[in-house]
């Protein structure tokens, strides 16, 4: 009887340790806010402010308030453009580095209230927040901690000012789905730099709006992808180690931000920011630099198609509307996505996602999925999705394209995450095998889709 008791105790301890190891192998997990953020995939950035009227990218903070005068401001037009382009929300630069506030903040004298626009009664955040609600879009806010105008910048009192500004935004214009912090930290009007109280800033947001996801170089919820060119790493982990790092110059290397950490302690996925133009604010002389629908599609493949979200900057012009050139490119981009991802060839297969399990070299349970067609089909794009609610597990996959059992091509990819889009020169196939070579734990590949997209859209 004692032997049975000790055997039971041993087995109980063994399986408890095993379960703990399995749990550790897939942790951390995204929370509900982050899962919803992943599903959004693509949304607008709107850089707008005095720089729009001075043709600067970084204002000096000494610009007269009257320079801001968008006499035909139409936030509803922004939102209708975003909806027509398939974007899920808009993040507005409520305060850029110049310190000018697009709302009448009581913590500053450099705001729309001091401008001649609408006789000082205007409020861009109020108009955009209402327009987003009316059009079913999410509303987000960028607010730069750097302030080249505020006299208290560079003193401990400025952190009180910044917290006060955030409280105004959340209390008067919410709900706010994403808050965007720029890590820039330059000198203020007194020649001093600010020591940002990031812990206090985070606690403020959490207390005011627990449902808001917060972006900075290192999160806490969303991270920068390490470049402003709109692409994530071909290997892109949603995980990041943040101990010892801080936003701005204290952030991890751009390579680390681009790829994440395979065994990172925190779920902090990448967001890819890029402008539809060569600059971030609207400048008429850059009208010829608007990215083509094909270029935007390529950016989509390199951001959303690598498990990240795409934050596409579409800056309103001096009238306060989105320029026609930008709108046409965006509608063309939406058309390309609709036309090329409208026919999942897997639905025509005679065997869909036939699965089997095996053991990988690193002793984790792996997965193979096979798709079979009766007659050859032309394929040049696959879309893989992982069940990230259970963690990011897949480390390496082979994709084998065959015709009547004869291998034509083998492709290798690393991470999958929320969505992985792989494009390649067209092959006529009757079988596609997706073989997980390595995973942290039992892989959870939730779907495989196959498409034949236009040849000129294959990832460059």
User: By the 8 A CB rule, do 219 and 196 touch?
Assistant: no
Both tokens of 421, joined, read 């889009």
User: By the 8 A CB rule, do 337 and 300 touch?
Assistant: yes
Question: 26-340 with 345-457: one CATH topology?
Answer: no
Per-residue pLDDT tens digits for 98-115:
999 999 999 999 999 999
State the pLDDT at residue 228: 97
- Is the pTM higher than 0.75? yes
Instruction: List Cβ neighbours of 366 (8 Å cut-off, separation of 6 or more).
Output: 357, 358, 359, 360, 435, 436, 437, 438, 439, 443
What is the C-alpha separation between 252 and 245, in angstroms, rounded?
A: 6
Domain 345-457: what homologous superfamily?
Galactose-binding domain-like (2.60.120.260)
End-to-end Cα separation, the chain, in angstroms = 68
State the pLDDT at residue 352: 59
State the pLDDT at residue 360: 52
What is the C-alpha separation between 364 and 337, in angstroms, rounded?
A: 36
User: By the 8 A CB rule, do 459 and 298 touch?
Assistant: yes
Tell me the mean pLDDT in the region 298-304.
Answer: 98
What is the C-alpha separation between 107 and 99, in angstroms, rounded?
A: 11
Q: What percent of the chain has pLDDT over 90?
A: 88
Give the class (CATH, top level) of 26-340. Answer: alpha beta
pLDDT at 384 over 60: yes
Lowest mean pLDDT, pick from 65-79, 269-283, 352-366, 416-430 = 352-366
pLDDT at 349 over 80: yes
Q: What percent of the chain has pLDDT over 70?
A: 91
pLDDT at 313 over 90: yes
Per-residue pLDDT tens digits for 12-27:
433 343 343 444 458 9
Closest CA to 439 of 357, 352, 323, 318: 357
pLDDT at 8 over 70: no
pLDDT at 370 over 60: yes
Confidence of residue 367 (pLDDT cuts 50, 70, 90): confident
- Domain map of the chain by residue range? 26-340, 345-457
What is the C-alpha separation between 55 and 250, in angstroms, rounded?
A: 30
Both tokens of 157, joined, read 């009192």
Residue 71 — φ and ψ, nearest 5°?
-65, -20
Lowest mean pLDDT, pick from 284-288, 409-413, 442-446 = 442-446
């Amino acid at each position: 009887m004692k032997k049975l008791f000790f055997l039971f105790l041993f087995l109980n301890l063994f399986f408890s340790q095993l379960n703990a190891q399995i749990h550790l192998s897939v942790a951390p997990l995204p929370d509900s806010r982050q899962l919803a953020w992943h599903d959004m995939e693509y949304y607008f950035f709107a850089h707008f402010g005095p720089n729009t009227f001075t043709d600067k990218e970084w204002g000096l903070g000494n610009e007269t308030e009257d320079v801001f005068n968008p006499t035909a401001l139409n936030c509803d037009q922004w939102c209708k453009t975003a909806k027509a382009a398939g974007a899920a929300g808009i993040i507005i630069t409520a305060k850029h580095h110049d310190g000018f506030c697009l709302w009448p903040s009581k913590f500053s004298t450099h705001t729309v209230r001091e401008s001649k626009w609408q006789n000082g009664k205007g409020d861009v955040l109020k108009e955009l927040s209402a327009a987003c609600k009316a059009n079913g879009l999410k509303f987000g806010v960028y607010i730069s901690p750097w302030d080249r105008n505020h006299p208290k910048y560079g003193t401990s009192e400025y952190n009180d000012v910044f917290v006060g500004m955030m409280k105004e935004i959340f209390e008067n214009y919410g709900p706010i789905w994403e808050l965007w912090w720029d890590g820039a930290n330059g000198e203020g009007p007194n020649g001093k730099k600010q020591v940002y109280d990031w812990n206090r800033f985070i606690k403020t947001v959490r207390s005011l709006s627990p449902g808001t996801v917060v972006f900075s170089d290192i999160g806490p919820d969303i991270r920068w992808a390490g470049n402003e060119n709109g692409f994530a790493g071909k290997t892109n982990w949603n995980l990041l180690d943040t101990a010892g790092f801080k936003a701005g110059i204290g952030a991890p290397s751009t390579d680390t931000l681009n790829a994440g950490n395979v065994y990172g302690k925190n779920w902090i996925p990448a967001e890819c920011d890029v402008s539809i133009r060569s600059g971030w604010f609207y400048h008429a002389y850059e009208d010829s630099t608007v990215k083509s629908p094909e270029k935007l599609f390529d950016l989509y493949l390199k951001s959303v198609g690598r498990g990240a979200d795409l934050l596409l900057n579409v800056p309103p012009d001096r009238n306060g509307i989105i320029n026609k050139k930008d709108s046409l490119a965006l509608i063309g981009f939406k058309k390309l996505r609709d036309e090329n991802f409208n026919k999942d060839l897997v639905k025509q297969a005679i065997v869909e996602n036939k699965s089997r399990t095996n053991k990988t070299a690193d002793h984790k349970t792996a997965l193979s999925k096979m798709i079979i067609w009766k007659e050859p089909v032309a394929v040049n794009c696959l879309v893989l999705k992982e069940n990230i609610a259970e963690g990011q597990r897949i480390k390496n996959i082979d994709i084998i394209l065959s015709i009547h059992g004869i291998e034509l091509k083998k492709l290798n990819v690393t991470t999958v995450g929320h969505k992985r889009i792989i494009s390649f020169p067209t092959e006529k196939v009757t079988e596609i095998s997706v073989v997980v070579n390595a995973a942290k734990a039992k892989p959870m590949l939730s779907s495989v889709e196959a498409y034949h997209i236009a040849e000129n859209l294959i990832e460059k």
